Chains A and B, each alone.
Chain A
Amino acid sequence: MDYPRIQIPFEITLWILLASFAKIGFHVYHKITIWVPESCLLITIGLIVGGIMHSVNEEPPAVLSSNVFFLYMLPPIVLDSGYFMPTQPFFENIGTVLWFAVVGTLWNSIGIGMSLFAICQIEAFGVQDINLQENLLFATIISAVDPVAVLSVFEDVSVNEQLYIVVFGECLFNDAVTVVLYNMFNFVADMPVVEPVDVFLGMARFFVVGFGGMGFGILFGFVAAFTTRFTSKVREIEPLFIFMYSYLAYLVAELFAISSIMAIVTCALTMKYYVEENVSQRSCTTIRHVVKMLGSISETLIFFFLGVVTITTEHEWNWGYILFTLLFAFVWRGLGVLVLTQIINPFRTIPFNLKDQFGLAYGGLRGAISFALAFTLPDNIQRKQLFITATIAIILFTVFLQGISIRPLIEFINVRKTNRNLGTINAEIHCRLMEHTIAGIEDLCGQWSHFYWKDKFMKFNTRVLRRILIRDSRAESSIVALYKKLELQNAMEILDTVSGDISASPSIVSLYEEKKNAAKPKKKFLAADLRNMHDILSKNMYNIRQRTVSYTNKHKLPNDTQTREILIRRHASIRRSIRPGSFQTSVVPKSQKYFSLPAGKNLDSKFPPRRLSNTDDQETMSEAAYPPRHSRFNQPSRSSSRAMIPLRRLDTLQESPSVSVLDETSGEERGGTGRGMPRINSSASDSRVPAPRHPFDGGDRGSVDNLRNSHHEAEEEQQEPTSPPPAWAAEGRDNTTRNPLLRRPQWNPKK
């Protein structure tokens, strides 16, 4: 047995596994994680393990040495934060964020440093030997906030977006500021005498470091985006580029001693937008997943080791100093938030009220960065142990006390909540409308504001950047993107009703097998059609993806499961449809069956139900999930005198509809014998606007008679419009342009 050979990788793996087991363990009783943030739990476990190790006189691995921490453990966390940062609110609030991050950190550091220095003069505490520079250094270390726990609480409570993004952004950027300040003070601490010139140089250095970091980040981001433009043939390694480029940005910034955190964050921000349009869907999922995973592991390990190291290091405890540190940290943060908010509120469209400020101040937990920085204090500082102890004390205090209590407090004081129910098309449309209006009025007034800059940037983006960086650069409005997303949702719901509720999604593998078997019989789709469909839907999904990742939980992946769900449900429904007679009797449970009614028609069928030609393919789509197609048919003439929405009701069910793809190339009138005509029972009394949910044919399984009866109960459903998925009445087109959004295969279960 040659243990030393494998020792290092082995131990690393074991530690990671141990920390991850702890994480699994927490979720066994999931209520714990609601009340106690994960970081607390991890630290506790770490403490226990540290105790064990201490008792057997083992040394913990040197995870928190400077190199390991800053080169290996920190980048994933920062990448995670940067990648999943909600960009739009971030840029709208960027002034505030930078203000709090930069000025706030400065305020905190200097304030705490000075007050501690004042305390040091008091003889009773016995810390007179700490001079001002060292105090400032220490103060810098402990003013770095790391509100991981707070962010997850904020998410759960859905606080208003402004607060969330300011806390988030502040955390991100003040890491950079802290590190810069730390280096500066470190450098200065060595020097016996501090000249004003040095201070000035320090400040200049700060700007160089900050902006240099950003510049590097943007550069690498663009290079990464550009590279992914050409990776269509090598899909498997696409995610690699993201990671390599961001890590490279980090390392190169470290090389030049500029802010690596800023570099990696800006790299991620820049990259994300363009890369997600270039890479394949799978690569995108992979990237997100891996980013989250690495970030999560790093964080877990850090908190874990925090606990371990707490036990195993030698401590130097000094009641006075440490208690005053705690006090000052708290006081200065509170003061800082108050003063800074007063100054910046007039500049904000949505000013922070007192409750927000409380959330901001109380959310200033300390965490990993402070910890690591404390460990990397140079050894020539005599009181290093004291500093380490004090740092650990303050971290533990804030994480446990504030972390646990922030949730009830936030709920108690009832911080302004966010209203994220803007998933409706109308809200989106009006949002855009309003923004354009404001931009227009501002142009009229001759005024600039961030709308102006945003406008200009978007123009530049469309004209220049996208052309260069994106393989297929067609701009798409966010309205259209949302529309597509909602279509997808609808599709899912249809599948849901078709196949019943799928509570436990079976593994895709088994489904795939069944699907394949079932699909063997007939495939009548043209290859070209399939490819087109693949393309169209993939593109739709990419754009949809952009919109859905806005508010993400720190510990979970963003909800990217839509497409997968469709796939799963699709397969399950296919599977179910194989079973005989499974559909004839099922009444559509909750869905509204009317999705479109031709205006001015009655419920008696005017259009004979068209039978779908029995191309009867079960499953012709392979990997991409296809929502069933929207039906098309004749547009009845609309009386223009009344503003009626042309609605058509699609009745689908008595005969077995079949899955078919609407032939895109065939220009024939859909009302005719086209291959994919669903049954259109266009009976309708004058256009009744249902609160329709499923525009897609094939989703509906009730019979005509059921339709009317279940109308009413279905209507009841509509009373709670949290975000009613729109159904739309598509116009029946007469030969012409096929709307790509509407072209989807209609599928049918086999009888």
Chain B
Amino acid sequence: MGALQSLPGQPEYVDLAEKTGFSFEQIGVLHKRFKQLTHNEETLRRDHLNGIPDLACNPIRSQIIEAFFDRRNLRQNGEGVVEEIGFEDFLVVMSHFKPPKLHITEEQRESVRKEKLRFIFNMHDTDNDGTITLEEYRHVVEELLSLSETLEIDTAKSIADAAMLEVASISMGHMEPDEFYEGITFEHFLKLLNGFEIETRMNIRFLYMDTMNFCNGGQ
């Protein structure tokens, strides 16, 4: 277990565990993976993530990778992106995918839900202005549908438009003739996905990891 020697010792794990809510075991495993991805460097950069072979066929790959470098996901109060992140930041981003504990109160569940939805919202909102504009939404839909072979260029646009109108109708309902619908704000987003049980679905079970099989690409 040579890799373990280079890992931070227990006291640092305590800090991280507290901050992110992972257990020591999970942190250890994730750290191993981090080392693997970064080829034992200290910080993770975009090109490290770009090299993962399986990720290459994911349609929203770029958004996922960007999400790691987005300050809003890193719980820092800044905006914009960073170029590289350390292990702690990596963990913080990963913690968005932790399943909620079995017995939590309603408020906790709400906050977990908000957190996850915020993550998705940030994935849409690439220019960091707090709203998802039509262009951004279209971009996402196009990427999502890019796997489908038969898609015509305009279908994605129509779908995005339709979706946008739907949002508008849900959140704004009655609009005056000179109102614009600027874009989806986070509150509207919440309202939109009201029935969507994201807190139970957007989870990864972090214990069962087999880091051996997944070499970082580019070897």
What is the CA–CA distance of A727 and B166 in the complex, to the nearest angstrom?
7
Residues of A within 8 A of B133 (CB): 643
| Those of B36-52 within 8 Å (CB) of chain A | 36-37, 49, 52
Closest to B117 in A: A430
Which of the residues A438, A603, A685 comes within 8 Å of B202, measured between beta carbons? A438
Which of the residues B55, B64, B161 comes within 8 Å of A645, measured between beta carbons? B161
Residues of B within 8 A of A459 (CB): 57
Residues of A within 8 A of B166 (CB): 424-426, 724, 726
Q: Please tell me if the beta carbons of B148 and A739 are within 8 angstroms of each other in the complex.
A: no
Which of the residues B58, B59, B158 comes within 8 Å of A730, measured between beta carbons? B158
CB distance from B17 to the nearest CB of A (A): 17
Closest to B183 in A: A643
Q: Is B118 an interface residue (CB 8 A)?
A: no
Q: Is B149 an interface residue (CB 8 A)?
A: yes
Residues of A within 8 A of B187 (CB): none
What is the CA–CA distance of A688 and B63 in the complex, to the nearest angstrom?
31
Q: Is B179 an interface residue (CB 8 A)?
A: yes
Closest to B200 in A: A350
Which of the residues A419, A448, A646, A715 comes within 8 Å of B197, measured between beta carbons? A419
Residues of B within 8 A of A446 (CB): 33, 36, 209-211, 213-214
Q: Known contacts A437-B123, A440-B55: does B102 contact A351 (CB below 8 Å)?
A: yes
CB distance from B50 to the nearest CB of A (A): 11
Which of the residues A474, A692, A721 comes within 8 Å of B149, measured between beta carbons? A474
Residues of A within 8 A of B120 (CB): 430, 433-434, 437
- Binary contact track A708-730/B, C-beta < 8 Å → 1, others 0: 00001001101101001011111
Residues of B within 8 A of A314 (CB): none
Q: Is B107 an interface residue (CB 8 A)?
A: no
Q: Please tell me if the beta carbons of A426 and B148 are within 8 angstroms of each other in the complex.
A: no
Residues of B within 8 A of A426 (CB): 163, 166-167, 192-193
What is the CA–CA distance of A733 and B153 in the complex, to the nearest angstrom?
11
Q: Is A237 an interface residue (CB 8 A)?
A: no
What is the CA–CA distance of A449 and B197 in the complex, to the nearest angstrom?
19
Q: Please tell me if the beta carbons of A730 and B52 are within 8 angstroms of each other in the complex.
A: no
CB distance from A190 to the nearest CB of B (A): 45
Which of the residues B60, B162, B176, B214 comes within 8 Å of A728, measured between beta carbons? B162
What is the CA–CA distance of A621 and B30 in the complex, to the nearest angstrom?
61
Q: Is B82 an interface residue (CB 8 A)?
A: no
Which of the residues B94, B165, B178 comes within 8 Å of A729, measured between beta carbons? B165
Residues of A within 8 A of B174 (CB): 691, 712, 715-716, 718-719
Closest to A425 in B: B163
Q: Known contacts A437-B60, A690-B175: does B196 contact A427 (CB below 8 Å)?
A: yes
CB distance from A602 to the nearest CB of B (A): 9
Q: Please tell me if the beta carbons of A645 and B165 are within 8 angstroms of each other in the complex.
A: yes
Q: Please tell me if the beta carbons of A727 and B162 are within 8 angstroms of each other in the complex.
A: yes
What is the CA–CA distance of A728 and B54 in the complex, to the nearest angstrom?
35
| Those of B168-219 within 8 Å (CB) of chain A | 168-170, 172-183, 192-193, 195-198, 200-206, 208-211, 213-214
Q: Please tell me if the beta carbons of B178 and A421 are within 8 angstroms of each other in the complex.
A: no
Q: Is A524 an interface residue (CB 8 A)?
A: no
Residues of A within 8 A of B55 (CB): 440, 443-444
Q: Is A644 an interface residue (CB 8 A)?
A: yes
Q: Please tell me if the beta carbons of A438 and B97 are within 8 angstroms of each other in the complex.
A: yes
Q: Please tell me if the beta carbons of A419 and B195 are within 8 angstroms of each other in the complex.
A: yes
What is the CA–CA distance of A617 and B61 in the complex, to the nearest angstrom?
49
Sample of 19 more A-B contacts, CB < 8 Å, known A425-B162, A447-B208, A719-B173: A350-B201, A427-B192, A427-B196, A433-B120, A433-B144, A437-B202, A445-B204, A447-B205, A447-B206, A474-B149, A476-B150, A643-B180, A643-B183, A686-B178, A689-B179, A712-B174, A718-B174, A721-B169, A739-B158
List B residues at the A interface (Cβ < 8 Å).
30, 33, 36-37, 49, 52, 54-55, 57-61, 63-64, 94, 97, 99, 102, 120, 123, 131, 133-135, 140-141, 144-145, 147-155, 157-159, 161-170, 172-183, 192-193, 195-198, 200-206, 208-211, 213-214
